[in-house]
Amino acid sequence: MAPLTTGPDTTETIDLATVPVRELNAKLHTGSVEACEVLSPQGRHAIAVGLRHPVTVDVRGHAGYYCAGMNDGGTVTVHGSVGVGVAENMMSGSVRVRGDASQSAGATGRGGLLVIEGSAAMRCGISMKGVDIVVGGDIGAMSAFMAQAGRLVVCGDAGEALGDSVYEARIYVRGTVASLGADCVEKEMRPEHLAELKELLTAAGLDHDPASFRRYGSARTLYHFAAGNSAAY
């Protein structure tokens, strides 16, 4: 097995053509690496998962399922596209995808910032609990389903059933929305929303006019079960 290559200032270059993903993740978990360049990802799953230290990781290519899942303080950039569940259950830090993302991007995320420069498939931000997600392109159906907290920003179009059963997450969409899910409604864009949207766009490196977005959120009619609302559950 080829050794890990160590550079200056505790920077490492790890080639997944010769080093197993398990060994990569174990090295990143030690806290002794400040920065890591990952070569030859070739769609491998679970790259850079469970980070607990402020390490910077650059994945040079496409990644598979659950890349950067459970991130808690790391800064991960994927120079390509990703499979299902990127940044799933992220707690803090940031994850940036230079390409597109498959289903369930940022699912159950509790904190941090996920930026997808391309488009995201179905269920983007499902059950998000505080994470901020900015998508430069479009998102698929059932995105922000049961989203409890956090912000989802979509610079393109949104698929069907956006925000179905949403709680207190805020959703901003610049393009068209195919349809809204149960209990999700369009809401007024007040000055505080324009300000927070500007902050999120700036953090993502985008310069869209916040006034070109519309805001969506919960109508708050499904918080508690009521027989009269049974058809909407």
Domains defined for the chain, CATH in brackets: 41-219 (2.160.20.60)
Which long-range CB contacts under 8 A does 191-195 form with residues at least 24 apart? none
CA dihedral 101, 107, 109, 113 (to 10 degrees): 20
d(CA 205, CA 218): 28
Q: Which residues pair with residue 185 across a beta bridge?
A: 217
DSSP-derived secondary structure letter, 211: G
Does residue 21 surpass a pLDDT of 70? yes
Tell me the average pLDDT of the chain. Answer: 93
Contacts with 11 (C-beta within 8 Å, 6 or more apart), sequence order: 33, 34, 35, 36, 37
Mean pLDDT (whole number) for 60-85? 98
pLDDT band at residue 3, thresholds of 50, 70 and 90?
Answer: very low
d(CA 70, CA 76): 12
Q: Is 233 exposed, middle or buried (0-12, 13-18, 19+ CB in 10 A)?
A: exposed
Write out the H or E segment, with its range, that includes residue 186: strand 184-187
Which long-range CB contacts under 8 A does 14-17 form with residues at least 24 apart? 14/38, 14/39, 15/39, 15/40, 16/40, 16/41, 16/42, 16/44, 16/47, 17/42
Does residue 208 surpass a pLDDT of 80? yes
Does this model's pTM top 0.75? yes
How confident is the model over 129-184, as pLDDT tens digits?
999 999 999 999 999 999 999 999 999 999 999 999 999 999 999 999 999 999 99
